[in-house]
Amino acid sequence: MIIGYARTSTLDQVAGFESQIRELKKAGCEKIYREQVSSVSSRNELQKAVDYAREGDVFIVTKLDRLARSTAGLMTIIDRLTAKGVRLKILNFGMDTHTPTGKLMLTVLGAVAQFEREVMLERQREGIAKAKAEGKFKGRKPISDKKVEQMSVLLAEGLLSKSEIAQKLNIGVATLYRYISRKKNSTGGI
């Protein structure tokens, strides 16, 4: 079976997503897994696709960065597929891990992709530091006092889980846990 995997980082990248699906179908993919999450997030559909693949199958992605952001992550995926007897193809490079040259090129390109990402993150950190020094960077906007009050009430009621409270208030779970931690530190409890 020929299995495809398509990923975009945001819901705004609809055109890029549709383009990947078209390319995967053109490459003969019989089953396509798709998701719209950051590469650093949990990628459930990727896991399902790799788990689904069987010996003799071909796993196809349109671009290397749709599959992994680090050499270590890429090698983990390749190792899992190889152990199952599954070939990996990357369309934009015309690369196939079925050949020794394909395996070598994939490893080298994975290292280059990781390097590019690290350089981009370094530049981002430098830009933020410069903006802070110039007083232009304020960070994230704090959550409103109203939401803090709602969090307190919902936590005290104890009827909803923390993730349900976060979802209800349209905040991240990490934000809720930071609030809880600060509250415990300042008062000795919630």
Instruction: Tell how strand 95-96 and strand 87-90 pair up.
Output: antiparallel
Both tokens assigned to 25: 């179908």
Is 163 a catalytic site residue?
A: no
Tokens 């396509």 correspond to 32
What is the rounded (10 degree) CA torsion for 41, 79, 121, 177? 30
First to last CA, the chain: 54
Which of 9, 19, 39, 70 is flagged as catalytic? 9
The Cα–Cα gap between 107 and 92 comes to: 15
- For residue 122, which phi and psi values (nearest 5 degrees)? -65, -45
Task: Give 126's contacts (C-beta < 8 A, 6+ positions apart).
Answer: none
Q: Which residues are catalytic?
A: 9
